[in-house]
């Protein structure tokens, strides 16, 4: 069981927490009845917690009733009472999709009135079987923003565990719900947040021998989907910049396959490395200042790094063979990559300057597409041995574990908390691919819905 | 192959005559050294004569060479004897049309990961290129592009499709 990190955090929750909206005005205090944080936590009953290592063995029953509003008002995102219903549904879906919770259906729960948000009807909730309770409210502010309050309660102990308030523009209303779900998730699991994040991927359509591929971006739950490129050129392997203001990817524009940076604000794209050589497999460094990539010259592929602004690349590997698929450790000090220098595609780790290269995969078959976990502890990969499977291993190569067992799973990308992975799953024959996710237990596997087929998903950081 | 070669040389000669007012048209560059076929023999086979393919064109290339495509073994970029025989005819044609430029596309089957296959496709394209260069074709006339597994020739997920998809395709730039 994981330790709870609650005691100190709770007192900080009395004030509104950090707000999510970019350039949001300072938070107004929550004008709802405040409940005192219980004193003497050390005397409280055993704390509520979720066992994340056991995965779905004991998902926690949790209730997320519709969030009331102090006054029904229309907003560009809809009326505040309707938003309260949808927000409860979003929090419900996020927590359910994590595999660690079994939420009760919001529509079947007690209608919570506004003053009740901070004074839960514990006796009622105790009868529903829920161990935890999430209540909240939606309020439209005079300046056009929305305030969303989010409260987490332990039903058995009858104590408040966390509270957060978020002020958002109406267009960002879903983000407030995701932030609320992140508050609940982090408080109960001890894991980092990941619901308020986005995925960039390649949308696919058309016949297998003439696929049309477009960059697309969406929230991690598939909402707010939009296309970034028009499909005239093949695009592959997008990755977020750490600051999420740009995406590095590979494009065949002009029949000169090379890596490009796409600026999300302007929609402009620029080639990173000049010249006619094939450049591919781009990844930002954790500080965003460099791009790690592969360059093929005369049939030989090596790893290089280049300033994210462009300039002269620095060569990092120099072996005959294919060195590609590089990924930085979260502190930027090391790189994991794949190489066939030993005869078949295997994983290697080296220092960020290219020194001290050594092989870490020895499980049989081939290994590709390594990705270092944002927590630093694990490396995810594609293993090719009787099909493509997603697996993880410790950074030293030990502790290998396969998480999926399908025909064509490829290209894992970590959720920002390092506990969930997204990847592509392609179908035998048709080659059609979809975006999927799996958690570290390997049990909670599910498809992330996209309007068309999808491949090469890359999970972005938690939004500020 | 001999017939094709002959037909090719003949068709070239015919067009050259038709397109030139001189009494004695300039002799076109002979095919690379080993060509011993005399113009005018083996005439009707191959069908180039009178079919209208413009000499030096992409269409002429496809009709003249044994194949525009060479195939590879799994995870390999070796030029095997079959590929050599095909590339020899490509080299021959390219020798005859020294101003023509080509792109060689490298492709892979779907049993490699995406980025690895981009590198493998680059290897295959360069293998074919290097062979042509060794046969006397100026490297500056040949560009390469790797499509990895993005553009399969055969769409199935079986050995037959995979064998077709592991390939390097020579395309005349028009």
Among A129, A156, A189, residue at a domain's last position: A189
Identify which of B111, B123, B143 has the shortest CB distance to residue A299. Answer: B123
For chain A, the domain total comes to: 2
On chain A, the residues whose CB falls within 8 A of the CB of B153 are 209
For residues A161-178, average pLDDT? 97
pLDDT at A106: 78
Q: Are residues A177 and A203 in the same domain?
A: no
Q: Are residues A455 and A351 in the same domain?
A: yes
State whether residue B110 sits within 8 Å of chain A by CB: yes
Q: Are residues A120 and A222 in the same domain?
A: no
Residue B95, pLDDT > 80, answer yes
On chain B, the residues whose CB falls within 8 A of the CB of A391 are none
For residues B126-139, average pLDDT? 98
ipTM field: 0.88
pLDDT at A22: 33
Instruction: Let me know if residue A2 belongs to a domain.
Output: no
pLDDT at A243: 96
DSSP codes of every residue in A385-437: SSSEEEEEEETTS-S-EE---SSBEEEEEE-TTSSEEEEEEE-TTT--EEEEE
Residue A13, pLDDT > 50, answer no
- Number of Cβ within a 10 Å radius of residue A180: 33
Among A157, A189, A221, residue at a domain's last position: A189
Helix B114-134 / helix B81-96 crossing angle, nearest 10 deg: 60
Dump pLDDT digits (tens) for B106-130: 999 999 999 999 999 999 999 999 9
CATH code assigned at A49: 3.40.50.10070
On chain B, the residues whose CB falls within 8 A of the CB of A410 are 113-114
State whether residue B116 sits within 8 Å of chain A by CB: yes
Identify which of B111, B126, B150 has the shortest CB distance to residue A299. Answer: B126
CB A347 within 8 A of CB A359: yes
On chain B, the residues whose CB falls within 8 A of the CB of A207 are 155
- Sign of the torsion angle spanned by Cα atoms A105, A109, A112, A118: negative
Cβ contact B116–A428 (<8 Å): no
Whole-angstrom Cα distance, residue B55 to residue B42? Answer: 18
Of the candidates A233, A220, A300, A287, the residue with the CA atom closest to the CA atom of residue A260: A233
Tell me the fold of B53-172.
Answer: 60s Ribosomal Protein L30; Chain: A; (3.30.1330)
State whether residue B164 sits within 8 Å of chain A by CB: no
Interface of A with B (CB under 8 A): 207-211, 213, 234, 236-237, 255, 257, 276, 278, 280-281, 294, 296, 298-301, 322, 324-325, 338, 340, 344-345, 368-369, 382, 384, 388, 408, 410-411, 426, 428-429, 431, 456
Q: Are residues A178 and A206 in the same domain?
A: no
Question: In which band, very low, low, confident or very high, does the pLDDT at A395 lie, cut at 50, 70 and 90?
Answer: very high
Q: Are residues A320 and A445 in the same domain?
A: yes
Question: In which band, very low, low, confident or very high, does the pLDDT at A348 lie, cut at 50, 70 and 90?
Answer: very high
Among A189, A224, A245, residue at a domain's last position: A189
pLDDT at A52: 59
Q: Are residues A361 and A276 in the same domain?
A: yes
In chain B, % of residues over pLDDT 70: 71
**CA of A74: how far to CAs of A24, A84, A370, in Å?**
20, 12, 48
pLDDT at A390: 98
pLDDT at A57: 59
Domain that holds residue A312: 197-462
Q: Which residue has the tokens 């704390």?
A: A47
Cβ contact A411–B116 (<8 Å): no
Rounded to 5°, angle at Cα B89 from B145 and B172: 35
Q: Are residues A202 and A182 in the same domain?
A: no
CATH code assigned at A295: 2.120.10.30
Whole-angstrom Cα distance, residue A238 to residue A247? Answer: 6
Our CA-based measurement puts residue B77 at a distance from the nearest CA of chain A, in whole angstroms, of 10
pLDDT at A153: 98
């Amino acid at each position: 069981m994981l330790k709870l990190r609650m005691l100190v955090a709770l007192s900080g929750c009395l004030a509104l927490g950090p707000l999510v909206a970019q350039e949001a005005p300072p938070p107004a205090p929550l004008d709802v009845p405040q409940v005192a944080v219980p004193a003497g936590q050390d005397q409280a009953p055993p704390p509520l917690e979720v066992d994340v290592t056991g995965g779905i063995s004991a998902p926690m029953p949790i209730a997320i009733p519709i969030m009331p509003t102090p006054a029904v008002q229309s907003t560009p995102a809809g009326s505040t009472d309707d938003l309260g219903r949808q927000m409860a549904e979003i929090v419900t879906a996020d927590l359910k999709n994590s595999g660690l919770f079994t939420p009760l259906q919001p529509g079947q729960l007690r209608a919570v009135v506004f003053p009740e948000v901070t004074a839960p009807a514990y006796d009622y909730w105790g009868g529903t079987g829920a161990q935890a309770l999430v209540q909240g409210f939606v309020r439209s502010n005079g300046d056009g923003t929305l305030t969303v309050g989010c409260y987490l309660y332990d039903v058995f102990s009858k104590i408040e565990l966390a509270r957060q308030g978020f002020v958002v523009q109406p267009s960002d209303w879903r983000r407030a719900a995701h932030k609320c779900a992140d508050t609940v998730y982090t408080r109960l699991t001890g894991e980092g947040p990941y619901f308020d994040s986005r995925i960039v991927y390649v949308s696919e359509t058309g016949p297998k021998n003439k696929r049309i591929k477009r960059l697309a971006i969406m929230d991690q739950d598939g909402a707010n989907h939009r296309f970034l490129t028009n499909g005239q050129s093949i695009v592959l392997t997008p990755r977020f910049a750490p600051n999420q203001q740009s995406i590095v990817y590979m494009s065949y524009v002009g029949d000169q396959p090379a890596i490009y940076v796409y600026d999300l604000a302007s929609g402009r794209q620029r080639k990173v490395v000049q010249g006619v050589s094939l450049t591919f497999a781009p990844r930002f460094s954790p500080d965003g200042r460099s791009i790690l990539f592969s360059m093929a010259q005369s049939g030989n592929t090596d790893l290089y790094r280049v300033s994210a602004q462009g300039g002269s690349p620095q060569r990092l590997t120099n072996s005959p063979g294919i060195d590609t698929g590089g990924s930085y450790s979260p502190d930027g000090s090391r790189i994991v990559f794949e190489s066939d220098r030993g005869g078949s595609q295997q994983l290697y780790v080296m220092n960020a300057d290219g020194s001290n290269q050594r092989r870490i995969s020895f499980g049989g078959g081939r290994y590709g597409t390594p990705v270092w976990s944002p927590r630093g502890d694990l490396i995810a990969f594609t293993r090719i041995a009787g099909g493509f499977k997603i697996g993880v291993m410790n950074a030293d190569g030990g502790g290998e574990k396969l998480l999926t067992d399908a025909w064509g799973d490829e290209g894992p990308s970590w959720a920002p908390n390092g506990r969930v992975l997204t990847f592509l799953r392609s179908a035998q024959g048709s080659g059609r691919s979809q975006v999927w996710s799996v958690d570290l237990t390997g049990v909670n596997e599910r498809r992330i819905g996209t309007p068309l087929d999808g491949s090469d998903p890359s999970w972005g950081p938690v939004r500020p | 192959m001999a017939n094709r070669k002959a037909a090719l040389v003949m068709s070239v000669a015919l067009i050259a005559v038709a397109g030139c007012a001189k009494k004695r048209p300039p002799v076109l560059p002979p095919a690379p050294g080993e060509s011993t076929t005399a113009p005018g023999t083996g005439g009707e086979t191959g069908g180039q004569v009178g079919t209208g393919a413009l000499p030096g064109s992409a269409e002429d290339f496809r009709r003249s060479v044994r194949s525009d495509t060479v195939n590879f073994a799994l995870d390999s970029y070796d030029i095997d004897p079959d590929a050599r025989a095909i590339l020899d005819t490509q080299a021959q044609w390219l020798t005859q049309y020294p101003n023509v430029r080509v792109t060689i596309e490298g492709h892979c089957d779907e049993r490699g990961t995406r980025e690895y296959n981009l590198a493998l496709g680059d290897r295959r394209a360069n293998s074919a290129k290097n062979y042509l260069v060794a046969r006397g074709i100026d490297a500056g006339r040949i560009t390469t592009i790797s499509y990895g597994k993005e553009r399969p020739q055969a769409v199935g997920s079986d050995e037959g499709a995979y064998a077709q998809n592991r390939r390097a395709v020579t395309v005349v730039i028009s």
